[in-house]
Structure 1
Amino acid sequence: MGACRYQGRKDRIMPRANRRVRSRTLPVKMLLASTVVMLWGTTMSHAADVTDYPSLVEHARALATKPYEPRQVELPPALQGLDYDAYRDIRFRPAKALWRGADLPIEAQFFHLGLYYDTPVEINLLTADGVRRVDYSTDLFDYGSNPTPTDIDKSMGFSGFRLHYPLNRDDYKDELIIFHGASYFRALGAGQWLGLSARGLAIDTGERSGEEFPAFTRFWIEWPRRDAHQFRIYALLESENVTGAYSFLVTPGDSTQTRVEATLFRRGEFAKLGIAPLTSMFHYGEEVPRPSNDFRPEVHDSDGLLIHAGDEWLWRGLVNPAQLSINAFQAKQLHGFGLMQRDRDFTNYQDLEAHYHLRPSAWIEPIGDWGEGSVELVQIPTKNEVNDNIVAYWRPKDGLSADKPLHVKYIIHWQHDELAGPEYGRVISTRIARSNNPEGNHRYVIDFSGTELNALPEDAQVSADVSFPPHFVVAEQIAFRNRETGGWRLVIRGKLKPDAEKPAELRARLVGAEQKAMSEVWTYTEPAS
């Protein structure tokens, strides 16, 4: 249950001057470059005869009719029993990067098998001469203090890969997108530092039966053109109960975009399907006092879940719950959702290593009508910042049937300065003052800010619109101008009834004349004692 953070937390990039990148769609046949450049460490491969997305779909369809056969490899003694530090000591040699010195816009580097990365991943190249498998070699890696393994077949494979691209300056290729561990991947825009991850699929997240982690087991990377500004990757997803064909079109920029197309086939039984899952970390934020043993005011990769459904924008601030928390937000017309890092003020983090104020937000933009369903938010208790403890995904009402594949398309926007959200008031902070007196009320202080909202005159008719269940009592609700921020503040004083046995879902927003919405909807779960 939940999501392990697969990438070391210190794997960052240094931010440099922003540079916007032009993007355009190129025909597949133009993306396949000539092989004038000698193919590096590769072997001709049939790789299930996959040469494009339709052939990958047919391959995934055929696999769904067969029992699952997990890919396994016996690691040599030198790679068995590695701890975290020993595994991190195995580093790819940048000078050995695929396409290094070939005057192409991207380079590829690869991750070694070991530790909990024990599922071999086959990586292929789609070239003008056919499909070629990237061969494993110990020459590609610096093993640090570890002994160099011997007698390993070149077909052993890797545990993942990453593409590098000059995001921030022309003479240096930064990490652009990383695929490493199960179906996890994450991308970066200009000036960003590695943060939250996306996943190919979520199966039974938060279920008592335990979560299943489908994995990308094979990749096909299209050979890039010299003038390319977009890059195509195909991937085969497999697990005991599902197969899938994936296409990723990566467009670098200030907000890098990953256009995803997936066709899913049911192979076995499971209870819950999560589409376009995002995973992040939330240790603590502004709504609680910082731990006495930590100098940092806040520690998180994301601070809220944003949903746009119908004509409503909804904001749910993240928490580190005392126990597993699952919330479902129903939607008939989903326009988008995402895990956002809205707070960009370094003074609220004070972390010169992690740079949480530069972590990207990830916004999911559905392509086409996704029908009815719900955005589910899973929050898992954590005592530190090491592991991801936040998961958000779309759960379609009809799920995935055994006799019909599910086809979805969406774009992931890896955002920094330009965040998705309404033009009017957005929640910028939530602070809670809890009464120590059982007879007293808690205070929920929500600050809103936005171009339209902040431009209102002092005497504008703005009021608080608050909804709550019968087992919660509100003593006061008031909205007023916050002269320090230029925005507006909404304050709720209230508490659960003494006999309340279940949590209370609170909703609040700012409204103007005739109940016109002046802000997105703030939501919060007041836990039962």
Structure 2
Amino acid sequence: MPTACRPVSGERPGRLIALLSAGLCLLAPWPIRANAVTDYPSLVEHARTLAQQAYEPRQVTLPPALQGLDYDAYRDIRFRPDQSIWRGQDLPIEAQFFHLGLYYDTPVQIHLLTADGVQTVDYTTNLFDYGSNPTPTDVDQHMGFAGFRLHYPLNRPDYKDELIIFHGASYFRSLGAGQWLGLSARGLAIDTGERSGEEFPVFTQFWIEWPRRDARQFRILALLESQSVTGAYEFLVTPGTTTTTEVRATLFRRGEFTKIGLAPLTSMFQYGEEVPRPPHDFRPEVHDSDGLLIHAGDEWLWRGLVNPARLTINAFQTDQLHGFGLMQRDRDFSSYQDLEAHYHQRPSAWITPQGDWGEGSVELVQIPTQNEVNDNIVAYWRPKAPWPADEPLEFRYRIAWQHAELAGPDAGRVIATRIARAAELDGLHRYVIDFAGPALSELPEDVELTPDLGFPPHFVVAEQIGFRNPETGGWRLVIRGKLKPESGQPAELRASLLTPERQRVTEIWTYTEPGN
């Protein structure tokens, strides 16, 4: 017999009991491993035990009606909103689920943490509208889901919007008020960009804490599994104009790998203002994020994203990381002209480490792409110190899903990078960088700023000049330069603006001029 879910701290479970009695959503205790997880410490012990066991990929046999679905057919399977967990309970959130199918083929078990213990949400076809697809028959109620999402009234009190989504591998993304879904975070990155191939850890089980009626923060526990690692994760989600996700993780090694990336972010960049738009597309720019921002030591660095000709990896080393993020700085609709994708409303994601992460580097991986469908940008923190096989790796951080009030320095920020390529191979390229912000607009009219450039010997700079940009209230820096023809190697460029007293009043623009 299924056991009715009872809420935390006296909330009434009426809607859930109604679902049970109607046979729409069986909630029964999951096997002992799931029931043993009641809080973060018990999840840590569960992950520790799993790390001593061989990795067994979780697989499920889909009913014939769900096999071989294409993209459109899978999208036609929709969760029935009236079957949402906590619907009609006067609680701040509701939970909905994603169906297995297409390339979402790893089953995810979802549990609820209640005052009376752990209850598992079982799969049933009654939770979904299959659209033009036939409804599966002879299904296993323990088949699981592809993921879930929480809904919360972000924009108006009478409608619950998507708040946070976990769907596929260890991917998750969140929204603040007025935002459209864009870039994603991941639980962990393993061997990203390596020739040996990337390993994708998977969140295989979730425990969602039953919400209180007055709750303004929501707790989710997750178990991560892969060939090389097991991990316990805790997510505290606080909705708002800027929604924040507090992440706590404890990892255990179970195998070998080349590198590990903490707090990874994944985004899409097809093209921006630095290159002409493709002739077949009317939109001036297409991207979920336009740059990587890093705060390390007393420096702020900006790296504009590119769609490279071949896979590139850049590492920004530091022993004092304050934060990093993939940002969507350009918020002007005219830069995108897309009434469907709303790229000007995609969130930025800013990572703030909790505690000292020590020495390491922020790595940026950029992969060539011909379209806007696939993510091709990854950024993460790579610790310098090796991870001992017999010790857990513990870390915490905060993700802020932001609007235009981006994390950044009080000094001038890079708002645009444009590059004019020389027609001849031995000609000079022109790099035009616009800085703007209150720190620049408030400078005295007669101040003169000096360009501060850094470049390797195999890059020749013929001219550098900085001057006011009256249209932005900021400053424009123009650099004319080129690689020495015989070098054939890429060149890392850095540029900022200084006052006559040698005080830096802008963040540092960085760019890699590709080699031959």
TM-score for the superposition, normalised by structure 2 = 0.96
In 2, the alpha carbon distance for the partners of 1:168 and 1:31 equals: 27
8 Å contact from structure 1 (residues 57, 263) kept in 2: yes
Deviations 1:223-256 (A, max 9, x none): 0000000000000000011000000000000000
Kept in 2: contact 1:34–1:127 (CA 8 A) = no
Please, which of 292, 298, 312 is the counterpart of residue 325 of structure 1? 312
Please tell me the residue identity of whatever aligns with 1:97.
S
Q: What is aligned with 1:354?
A: 341
Mind listing any 5+ residue stretches in structure 1 that lack a counterpart? 1-29
Q: Does residue 290 in structure 1 map to residue 290 in structure 2?
A: no
8 Å Cα contact 2:361-2:383 kept in structure 1: yes
CA distance in 2: counterparts of 1:199 and 1:439, whole angstroms: 43
- Counterpart of 1:513 in 2: which secondary structure? coil
Match of 1:135 in 2: 122
Tell me the residue number matched to 1:300. Answer: 287
1:482 partnered with 2:462: no
- Partners in 2 of 1:184 and 1:384 — Cα distance? 20
What fraction of aligned residue pairs are identical, expressed as a percent? 76
- Tell me if the contact between 1:278 and 1:392 (Cα under 8 Å) persists in the aligned partners: yes
Q: 1:60 aligns with which of 42, 47, 57?
A: 47
Contact preservation (8 Å) 2:437, 2:473: no
Pairs aligned (count) = 501
Measure the CA separation in 2 of the matches of 1:134 and 1:524.
49
Write the distance in 1 (CA, Å) between the matches of 2:332 and 2:315. Answer: 30
- Match for 1:425 among 385, 390, 412? 412
> 2: distance between equivalents of 1:115 and 1:135?
20
SS at match of 1:447: strand
Segments ≥4 residues shifted beyond 3 Å:
30-36
Distance in 2 of aligned mates of 1:242 and 1:55: 18
Q: Is this contact kept in 2: 1:458–1:481, CA < 8 A?
A: no
Deviation at 1:485, TM superposition (A): 1.2
Q: What SS does the corresponding residue of 2:273 show, helix, strand or coil?
A: coil
Distance, in Å, in 1 between the alignment partners of 2:275 and 2:343 is 18
> How many angstroms apart in 2 are the aligned matches of 1:514 and 1:70?
61
- Per-residue displacement from partner, 1:239-276 (whole Å, max 9, x unpaired)? 01100000000000000000000001111000010000
Conserved? CA contact 1:35–1:127, under 8 Å: no
Please say if residues 294 and 324 of structure 2, whose CA atoms lie closer than 8 Å, have aligned partners that are also in contact: yes
Q: CA deviation at 1:35?
A: 4.7
Aligned-residue offset at 1:126: 0.2
**Which position in structure 2 is the counterpart of 1:204?**
191
Deviation (angstroms), 1:484: 1.5
Q: Matched residues in 2 for 1:175 and 1:134: separation? A: 20
Q: Which residue of 2 aligns with 1:106?
A: 93
Residue 83 (1) aligns with residue 70 (2): yes
Any residues of structure 2 matched to 1:410-421 within 5 Å, and which? 410-421=397-408
**Kindly tell me: are residues 31 and 393 of structure 1, through their superposed partners in 2, closer, same or farther at Cα, counting changes over 3 Å?**
farther
Q: Does 2:123 match 1:160?
A: no
SS in 2 for 1:470: coil
Structure 1 CA distance for aligned equivalents of residues 506 and 8 of structure 2: 45
Instruction: Structure 2: give runs of 5+ residues left out of the alignment.
Output: 1-6, 20-24
Matched, 1:174 2:172: no
Q: What is the match of residue 455 of structure 1?
A: 442
The higher-RCO structure (CA 8 Å, 6+ apart) is 1
Counterpart in the other structure of 1:526: 513
Supply the AA of the counterpart residue of 2:155: N
**Could you say which residue in structure 2 is the equivalent of 1:72?**
59
Structure 1 contact 136–158 (Cα < 8 Å) conserved: yes
Letter of the aligned partner of 1:43 in structure 2?
A: A
2:82 alignment partner, SS class: helix
Say if 2:500 is the partner of 1:517: no
Q: Does 1:43 align with 2:25?
A: no
Counterpart AA for 1:449: A
| From 323, 331, 336, the counterpart of 1:344 | 331
Quick one: distance in 1 between partners of 2:487 and 2:418? 23
1:368 aligns with 2:355: yes
Structure 1 range deviating more: 318-327 or 457-466: 457-466
Measured at CA, do residues 175 and 459 of structure 1 come closer, stay the same or move farther in structure 2, by a change above 3 Å? Answer: same
1:147-203 per-residue CA deviation (whole Å, 9 max, x = no partner) reads 111111211110100000000000000000000000000000000000000000000
Provide the C-alpha distance between the structure 1 equivalents of 2:382 and 2:8, rounded to a whole number of angstroms. 34
CA contact (8 A) 1:234 1:248 kept: yes
**Counterpart of 1:514 in 2: which secondary structure?**
coil
| Contact 1:265/1:400 (<8 A) preserved | no
Letter in 2 for 1:64: A
SS at match of 2:48: helix
Counterpart Cα distance in 2 of 1:62 and 1:508: 50
CA distance in 2, matches of 1:493, 1:502: 18
Partner of 2:344, secondary structure, is helix
Residue 219 of structure 2 corresponds to 232
Distance 1:59 1:485 in 2: 55
Partners of 2:464 and 2:477 within 8 A in 1: yes
Contact 2:12–2:89 (CA under 8 A) maintained in structure 1: no
Tell me which residue corresponds to 1:255: 242
CA contact (8 A) 2:109 2:206 kept: yes
Q: 1:150 aligns with which of 137, 146, 159?
A: 137
1:265 aligns with 2:252: yes
- The CA distance in 1 between the partners of 2:491 and 2:469, in whole Å, is 27
Q: Alpha carbon RMSD of aligned pairs, Å?
A: 1.2
Q: Pick from 431, 435, 458: which aligns with 1:444?
A: 431
In 2 relative to 1, CA 347–215 (structure 1 residues): closer, same or farther, beyond 3 Å? same
